[in-house]
Amino acid sequence: MKTKQPASFQALPKDYDALCRKFLPRPIHDKIAYQNTAEVADTFAGLEDQMTGDQNDYFDLLCDLIEKYDRESLPPLKVSAVALLRHLAQEHRLTGADISRILGKSAPLGRMILRGERSITADHAITLARHFGLRADAFIT
C-alpha cells in the first residue's frame, strides 16, 4: 500500500495523534512498508530545528523502525579496522598525528596505523571507540 504524502513539511500535522492518523507507524516487515516509512521520514529529514516535540518524537520512531529493519535485513558491512579509521580520520579532518594524540602515543604511530604498517591493538581499539563513540570491536579486524 502506497502512502499519500503531504506536499510539504508545513502541511504536516503538529501533534502526534494527527500524525499517526496520516501514517500509523508499524513494524516494518517488507520493502513496501520500508519505502512507505522512509517516504514519510524523508519529509522531516533536516528540519529537526523546525519540528514540534510531537513531530520530533514521531520522526524518531520512524527512524527507529527504519534502523531496526536495516539491521535485521541488510548483511553486515565488512570493513577493516584500518579502513574504518581512515574514513573517520578523513571525515573528522584528522591527521596521523591527531590519531597519535588521541591514542596518547608517539607522533609516528597514527601515520603508521593509517598506512597499515602497524596494527590496531586492543588498547588502541578501546581508546578509538571511546573517542568516536563506537564499539571497540569496530576497530578489531
Residue finishing a domain among 17, 41, 73: 73
69 and 95 part of one domain: no
53 and 13 part of one domain: yes
Instruction: Calculate the CA 133 to chain-centre distance.
Output: 11
Global pTM value: 0.53
Measured CA to CA, the distance from residue 101 to residue 130 in angstroms comes to 14
Residue finishing a domain among 52, 73, 94: 73
60 and 91 part of one domain: no
Range(s) of the domain holding residue 98: 81-139
**Mean per-residue pLDDT for 3-16?**
73
Write the pLDDT tens digit of every residue in 112-125. Answer: 999 999 999 999 99
Write the pLDDT tens digit of every residue in 23-77. Answer: 999 999 999 999 999 999 999 888 888 999 999 999 999 999 999 999 899 777 6
Q: Indicate whether 112 belongs to any domain.
A: yes
- Residue 82's pLDDT band, with cuts at 50, 70 and 90, is very high
Indicate the residue type of 44.
F
Q: Indicate whether 4 belongs to any domain.
A: no
Name the CA dihedral angle for 106, 121, 115, 78, rounded to a multiple of 10 degrees: -150
Please tell me the total count of domains within the chain.
2
The owner of cell 504524502 is 5
Measured CA to CA, the distance from residue 96 to residue 7 in angstroms comes to 47
